Structure 1
């Protein structure tokens, strides 16, 4: 699945980005300005990993970092205009991947699958 997503991202000119970068961009797309800790929690990665991923996104011009005016230990991450420009491509990629993922699976089967996956997730 990662390979397919990366291939799709490259079609839209998002070279040099891996799926973990996409996870960060997607989280920012949905939630807006976030702290580094919030980004880490949203994508299920530790803060040091997120720091390295965010640094690359900053270098590529997709996100910007800013310190909190009151507590300078807090760093916020936001999408830049270049990062915002990726929203339509991300939405299209998500739709295409989900359509491929669920090809030949009925709505009832999707509900059963999601229910089972949620139970497994709860068990862990």
Structure 2
């Protein structure tokens, strides 16, 4: 069992580090070398179609509005995000992606799609099922153990 724990630990650490490195490389190759992986994940949380409030995006990312304000300010300066007043209540400011932000979003989404397709390529249906089940259990474990909210957009 000790060997299993060692292998799982090493594999998780390697996967985490490798995915971050691969993501950063993909950004640079895609012409977005001015973006960090964290900024791309902020772009992803803002979403493609519906402007969102800072509170909504901060909740999605599991960060404070203050932290998001700094990140959004940088993304506005870089031309990926715009701030706009709500039509319903002019006091409310919403954030949305610019054309360049939407392009970065699409390229990042394609990166993830390609990564997953390559991961399951060559697996049997049973192997896909086992991998999916194991990853879902692992994800639930971390979320429950460390009290992480589900950060998916509704």
TM-score > 0.5, shorter chain as reference: yes
Q: Does 1:115 align with 2:132?
A: no
- Give the CA deviation at 1:84: 1.9
CA RMSD of aligned residues (A): 2.3
1:5–1:97: 8 Å Cα contact kept in structure 2? Answer: no
1:63–1:78: 8 Å Cα contact kept in structure 2? Answer: yes
Quote the Cα distance in structure 2 between the aligned partners of 1:12 and 1:115: 30
Bigger-Rg structure (1/2): 2
- Give the CA deviation at 1:83: 1.4
* Pairs within 5 Å for 1:30-109: 30=48, 32-68=50-86, 70=89, 72=91, 74-99=92-117, 106-109=127-130
Q: Structure 1: which 4+ aligned runs deviate by more than 3 Å? A: 99-105
Quote the Cα distance in structure 2 between the aligned partners of 1:30 and 1:85: 9
- CA distance 1:48–1:101, shift in 2 (3 Å): farther
Quote the Cα distance in structure 2 between the aligned partners of 1:61 and 1:8: 19
Q: Does 1:2 align with 2:26?
A: no
Task: Give TM-score, length-normalised by structure 1.
Answer: 0.81
Q: Does 1:28 align with 2:17?
A: no
In structure 1, runs of 5+ residues without a counterpart are none
Q: Does the residue aligned with 1:14 lie in a helix, a strand or coil?
A: coil
Task: Count matched residues.
Answer: 123
